[in-house]
Structure 1
Amino acid sequence: MRGEGAPAQPGEISGGGSGASGAVPPPREGSGGGVPKRRGRRRVLRWVSSVLSFLILATAAGGYLYYRHLNGSIKTDVLNLGENKLGGSKPNAFGQTPLNILLIGSDARDDAANQALGGAKDTFDGPPLADVQMLLHLSADRSNMSVVSMPRDTMLMMPKCTEPGGKVHQASKGLVQTNESLGRGGPGCTVAAWTELTRIPIDHFMMIDFKGVVTMADAIGGVPVCVQQNVESRTRDGKGSGLKLPAGTSTIQGEQALQWLRTRYGFEDGTDLGRTHAQHMYMNSMAREFRKNAKLSNPVKLNSLAQAAIKAMVVDPGLNKIDKLYDLSMELKKVPTGRITMTTMPWVYSTREEGRVEPKPVEAEALFRMVREDIALDGKGSGTPNPDGTPASPAASTAPAAPSQPAADPAAPPAKIAVSVRNATGGKDGAQVRVKGRADEVAAILVGKGFTKAQSTQQTGAEDATVVRFSTPGQAGDAAAVATALGLPATAVEKSDEVTGIVLFVGKDWRSGNAPTPPPPAPTKAPDSARPLNGDDDKECMAVQPGFTW
């Protein structure tokens, strides 16, 4: 593990990591300030850009030149370098659109500041690792927010990633540690890996490095954290974050905040899974502090926050303007801290890679499904009930930060839709042998439903769930018609650069019969194995690992 300047030890697990710090908390309420009509671009620039733990609330009365200066300072990178592009979050029945933002903490040691903070001289100028990966899901009705962390030592099959310059990183033939995705072309490959694993459409990403964390923490001010005993994160051979705190509650900021977010040795069992829990506690505490404190009205302070935020982050092109970040901040601001739920992807120790973890069957997918289907992880449902106990009527959300949805593509008559059918019944893990002749059988089912141009192919695939992929926007309606005819959900239709035309992949869920096995009812609350932590929980206090007290 590189999070604290030391390689992973046999049997250790890592899961949050060096860049943990990457997270920025949701905005606080009551930021105030109207905008005079005649001021134009000289309006107050007030925005909150969230990587959930660090609230960035910035108001800078500047002018057109200052506005341009801030916009020109925003660093961007490609959103998705993979072949599987789900097309952004889809509106619900009320026209409201959820938002999914991948928060990435990079352990890059590519300059003097990051090298001084990150340590581990043997990694200087090496490929960066995505040591913190958190998916922030903002519900369509803006009533709740969910965060799912993935342990950085999670072993996955990496997708093919193509850099803008044409360099290709081929799909892995075996398991690869998830944090290596960042070195396969940048944050766009980390997004692609999440998309491939979870089938959750990711709308944006935000990435931060070591020095960005310290800069942001200094600009924001202190946040209270708690440890059950005196703690010092330092081993006899010099490993550890260097964090030293007395028992009870302390207020930390700057480099000490980075130490807290990076601490593995000294927390709980000394693994990165404990570190992830500490990160969640910090993020929730930060959100509570900004919600309860008075308004930030000092323009110098707010200006420093704005500049610190911009210098600290790399974002996708969809967030490349101050206005876009401001609009996003206003959406995040709508969620009360009591409806924020922090979780960690359910995991099991890998039997194939010692000391590493893999997604826990059933429970990890249940958590991903809740995010895909916009189900609140806290079990409280959507919206706030009316005083008489009846469900609240959802108000249409206007989230400018969400990608616009194209108009529905009308479908051609079934007899004119060409469909290739591939046998993918072995599943992604290859644990089962593909059912012989299954592509032929399903192609015949399609022909019987009027899709007379459906044909099986010798090409195969590996899918847990049956999916219909199409290659061009003009085929979206036709692909949806195929899915509807087979009783597949809308989420089973995906745009992909890896296919030509419309291709039906018959997955492990449809090894026999005339229709895929319907999924079980969706869960209504995050599984306990995800270790859910509510944003209003101010009683959490980190357990200290034996041998790291003073």
Structure 2
Amino acid sequence: MSLTPQADQDTPADQGGRHGGGRRRGGRGADSKRRRRRALRWSATVLSVVILGTAGAGYLYYQHLNNNIQKGQRSSGDSKAEKTQPNAAGQTPLNILVIGSDSRNSAENVKLGGSKDNVGNKPLADVQMLVHLSADRESAAVVSIPRDTRVDIPKCADPETGDTYPATNDIINLSLARGGAGCTLATWQNLTGVYIDHWMMIDFAGVVKMADAIGGVEVCVKQGVWDRPLPRVPGGSGLKMTKGTKKIEGKQALQWLRTRHAFYSDLGRAKAQHMYMNSMIRSLKEQNAFTDTGRLMNLAEAATNSLKVSEEIGSVKKLYDLGMQLKTVPTDRITMTTMPTVEDPQDRNHLVPKGADAEKIWSMIRDDVSFDKGGSKDSKKTTDTAEATKAPTHADDEMGVVVQNATQSSTLAPVIGRAHTISQLLLQKGFAKATADTSAALAEDKTVVRYPSADLEGDAQRVAKSLGIPMSSVKKSTDVSGVTVVVGADWRSGTTYPKQSKPKAGDVPESADAINGSDSGQCMDVYEPYRWEA
């Protein structure tokens, strides 16, 4: 449409009519109609310009936000975890790993985090949380792992430098320096057996930007706190506040999230972080931040400038869609927890997963069982009692089966002879080609049956059924060349696979220190040396 209304110029007859030199057409009524038509055409022209202009500005702003986002490879390490199968309604849970980096590789981060000696060093993952959104999107669980927890870190390749790092056993925060966030994700998958869909990472400066955009979050301490260096304890976050409830933002929010000594330990720090996150979620819901355009734009600007994300969610639309899914969960159906741990027998300054309690947490995540009692109906039927779905390719006495001993764990020594015991059991059951692998002991929390290719899936299921191992523990893996029974720490004795009790909604171990999202009465206790009165 032309911006100049050429079609509305007067005809000679019209001109003559107006000046008295010709006959008027149609009289006063026709003139009025023409004027209305001209006005409508002008309105349509102006409206089209406005729409195109604002659409262009909107597009440019959208591109600006997209360009803000930093992206990285989803996984950069060896991992065996498989994506969760849909439930009966075709829904799948969503798992997101949130990483807090201690990077000092910018002037802003050095100013906020101190320790100039670490400038140029690869960052460590000081905060790590798995956010699990149930398949029906009606509940959510968050599980933290303290940074000094000793775990197996797989072989990883740094996607930015190409450097390759061999598998090692060390504290989990080092995983970020051995292949980026993708290595941390692979480490979590191997530890938990949970497939993780995405990761998000934020540094010190990013936390401050997000805290400012949110507009403050209420936290509480039972005593006044000043987290500062003491004679024999260097460091400290600098957090200084009087007792009671207070709204914090910006740098003070970062100090709260980093405080460790004043909250007794890394476990206390995780609890303080959970309190902050719950309060933040409540604040966002109360402020209608997801429907208030102005607030949403401020949050979008801060988030896209603050976050680095795995590449498959590296757009504003995908991040917004994730936010909308999280928004649907009521606060009383959100549960914050920390993986149960015990003191590391090799180093009292470190932790290791607490056997059965830690495994129960991961089992609930894998089976999509809600952490709160509101989810009495499991959103995903577990497959522990499922039947085999594939017919075997070979007869029992023709199947090649290898048995490995993986009864070692972070807290338990391997049980000598387990591979031999179970291979003998298979021989008695008619699997004439079963053999024991006598190489070095492995470590697996749960017994699994692995197979390398689709043609051997039925064979693997047949072996699992004969041993009483659930079908959910039959996994495809490129780490094996044939059907392989990996006897885990859950089967350390006997020849009958121990019956696995199905976790129930809300049955979270006490050692996980669970906090419900609607609990606004939480208040942190302050370690006595760091108590302070104004």
* TM bucket normalised to smaller: 0.7 to 0.9
**Which residue of structure 2 lines up, in the alignment, with residue 342 of structure 1?**
336
**Which residue of structure 2 lines up, in the alignment, with residue 530 of structure 1?**
512
Q: Does residue 505 of the first structure (1) align with residue 505 of the second (2)?
A: no
Q: Which of 361, 382, 406 is matched with 1:367 structurally?
A: 361
Asked if structure 1 preserves the Cα contact closer than 8 Å seen for 2:336 and 2:516, the reply is yes
Question: Counterpart amino acid of 1:248?
Answer: G
Alpha-carbon distance between aligned partners in 1 of 2:361 and 2:485, rounded to the nearest angstrom: 26
Which ranges in structure 1 are unaligned for 5 or more consecutive residues?
1-38, 44-59, 384-390, 397-407
Asked if structure 2 preserves the Cα contact closer than 8 Å seen for 1:151 and 1:273, the reply is yes
Q: Cα gap change, 1:546/1:180 in structure 2, threshold over 3 Å: closer, same or farther? A: same
Once the two structures are TM-superposed, the CA of residue 460 in structure 1 deviates from its matched residue by 5.8
**Which residue of structure 2 lines up, in the alignment, with residue 245 of structure 1?**
241
**Which residue of structure 1 lines up, in the alignment, with residue 205 of structure 2?**
211
The 5 A counterparts of 1:45-60 are none
**Which residue of structure 2 lines up, in the alignment, with residue 231 of structure 1?**
225
Alpha-carbon distance between aligned partners in 2 of 1:453 and 1:61, rounded to the nearest angstrom: 69
Q: Cα gap change, 1:66/1:410 in structure 2, threshold over 3 Å: closer, same or farther? A: farther
Q: Does residue 517 of the first structure (1) align with residue 509 of the second (2)?
A: no
Question: Counterpart amino acid of 1:498?
Answer: D
Secondary structure of the 1:468 match is: strand
**Which residue of structure 1 lines up, in the alignment, with residue 66 of structure 2?**
71
Q: What is the CA deviation profile of residues 446-482 of structure 1, one whole-angstrom value per residue up to 9, with x for unaligned ones?
A: 754xxx7766555565234221223456765664555
The 5 A counterparts of 1:384-399 are none
Q: What is the CA deviation profile of residues 333-374 of structure 1, one whole-angstrom value per residue up to 9, with x for unaligned ones?
A: 121000111111111112211221111122111222121221
Q: Cα gap change, 1:511/1:320 in structure 2, threshold over 3 Å: closer, same or farther? A: same
Q: Does residue 491 of the first structure (1) align with residue 487 of the second (2)?
A: no
Alpha-carbon distance between aligned partners in 1 of 2:184 and 2:380, rounded to the nearest angstrom: 33
Once the two structures are TM-superposed, the CA of residue 511 in structure 1 deviates from its matched residue by 5.7
Q: Does residue 222 of the first structure (1) align with residue 205 of the second (2)?
A: no
Question: Counterpart amino acid of 2:123?
Answer: P
Asked if structure 1 preserves the Cα contact closer than 8 Å seen for 2:208 and 2:254, the reply is yes
Asked if structure 2 preserves the Cα contact closer than 8 Å seen for 1:142 and 1:331, the reply is yes
Alpha-carbon distance between aligned partners in 2 of 1:227 and 1:511, rounded to the nearest angstrom: 45
Q: Does residue 413 of the first structure (1) align with residue 396 of the second (2)?
A: no
Secondary structure of the 1:379 match is: coil
Q: Does residue 167 of the first structure (1) align with residue 163 of the second (2)?
A: yes
Alpha-carbon distance between aligned partners in 2 of 1:134 and 1:508, rounded to the nearest angstrom: 25
Once the two structures are TM-superposed, the CA of residue 230 in structure 1 deviates from its matched residue by 2.1
**Which residue of structure 2 lines up, in the alignment, with residue 105 of structure 1?**
100
**Which residue of structure 1 lines up, in the alignment, with residue 450 of structure 2?**
469
Secondary structure of the 2:418 match is: coil
Q: Does residue 317 of the first structure (1) align with residue 311 of the second (2)?
A: yes
**Which residue of structure 1 lines up, in the alignment, with residue 171 of structure 2?**
177
Asked if structure 1 preserves the Cα contact closer than 8 Å seen for 2:343 and 2:349, the reply is yes
Q: Which of 225, 238, 255 is matched with 2:251 structurally?
A: 255
Q: Does residue 290 of the first structure (1) align with residue 284 of the second (2)?
A: yes
Secondary structure of the 1:277 match is: helix
Secondary structure of the 1:85 match is: coil
Question: Counterpart amino acid of 1:413?
Answer: T
Alpha-carbon distance between aligned partners in 1 of 2:435 and 2:261, rounded to the nearest angstrom: 57
Q: Which of 183, 194, 202 is matched with 1:189 structurally?
A: 183
Q: Cα gap change, 1:307/1:425 in structure 2, threshold over 3 Å: closer, same or farther? A: closer
Asked if structure 2 preserves the Cα contact closer than 8 Å seen for 1:288 and 1:337, the reply is yes
Q: Cα gap change, 1:148/1:395 in structure 2, threshold over 3 Å: closer, same or farther? A: closer
Once the two structures are TM-superposed, the CA of residue 378 in structure 1 deviates from its matched residue by 2.1
Once the two structures are TM-superposed, the CA of residue 211 in structure 1 deviates from its matched residue by 0.8
Q: What is the CA deviation profile of residues 64-92 of structure 1, one whole-angstrom value per residue up to 9, with x for unaligned ones?
A: 44433433432222222332232222222
Q: Cα gap change, 1:509/1:322 in structure 2, threshold over 3 Å: closer, same or farther? A: same
Q: Cα gap change, 1:266/1:512 in structure 2, threshold over 3 Å: closer, same or farther? A: closer
Q: Which of 194, 204, 222 is matched with 1:200 structurally?
A: 194
Q: Does residue 357 of the first structure (1) align with residue 337 of the second (2)?
A: no
Q: Cα gap change, 1:363/1:130 in structure 2, threshold over 3 Å: closer, same or farther? A: same
After superposing the two structures, state which structure 1 stretch, 79-88 or 196-205, moved more: 79-88
Secondary structure of the 1:273 match is: helix
Alpha-carbon distance between aligned partners in 2 of 1:476 and 1:166, rounded to the nearest angstrom: 35
Q: Which of 427, 431, 440 is matched with 1:444 structurally?
A: 427
Q: Which of 119, 124, 133 is matched with 1:138 structurally?
A: 133
Which ranges in structure 2 are unaligned for 5 or more consecutive residues?
1-47, 382-387
Alpha-carbon distance between aligned partners in 2 of 1:536 and 1:347, rounded to the nearest angstrom: 25
Secondary structure of the 2:138 match is: coil
Once the two structures are TM-superposed, the CA of residue 289 in structure 1 deviates from its matched residue by 1.2
The higher relative CO (CA closer than 8 Å, separation ≥ 6) is in 1
Secondary structure of the 1:176 match is: strand
Q: Does residue 423 of the first structure (1) align with residue 404 of the second (2)?
A: yes
Q: Cα gap change, 1:418/1:208 in structure 2, threshold over 3 Å: closer, same or farther? A: farther
Asked if structure 2 preserves the Cα contact closer than 8 Å seen for 1:243 and 1:259, the reply is yes
Alpha-carbon distance between aligned partners in 1 of 2:528 and 2:268, rounded to the nearest angstrom: 14
Q: Looking at CA atoms only, which structure, 1 or 2, has the larger radius of gyration?
A: 2
Once the two structures are TM-superposed, the CA of residue 278 in structure 1 deviates from its matched residue by 0.9
The alignment's C-alpha RMSD in Å is: 3.2
Question: Counterpart amino acid of 2:393?
Answer: P
Alpha-carbon distance between aligned partners in 1 of 2:162 and 2:389, rounded to the nearest angstrom: 31
Secondary structure of the 1:543 match is: coil
After superposing the two structures, state which structure 1 stretch, 200-209 or 482-491, moved more: 482-491
Q: Cα gap change, 1:231/1:431 in structure 2, threshold over 3 Å: closer, same or farther? A: same
The 5 A counterparts of 1:271-290 are 271-290=265-284
Asked if structure 2 preserves the Cα contact closer than 8 Å seen for 1:426 and 1:434, the reply is no
Q: Cα gap change, 1:485/1:80 in structure 2, threshold over 3 Å: closer, same or farther? A: farther
Q: TM-score, normalised by structure 2?
A: 0.79
Secondary structure of the 2:86 match is: coil
Secondary structure of the 1:356 match is: strand
Once the two structures are TM-superposed, the CA of residue 259 in structure 1 deviates from its matched residue by 0.8
**Which residue of structure 1 lines up, in the alignment, with residue 416 of structure 2?**
433
Alpha-carbon distance between aligned partners in 2 of 1:482 and 1:221, rounded to the nearest angstrom: 58
After superposing the two structures, state which structure 1 stretch, 256-265 or 470-479, moved more: 470-479
Q: Which of 311, 320, 329 is matched with 1:326 structurally?
A: 320
Once the two structures are TM-superposed, the CA of residue 318 in structure 1 deviates from its matched residue by 2.4
Question: Counterpart amino acid of 1:247?
Answer: K
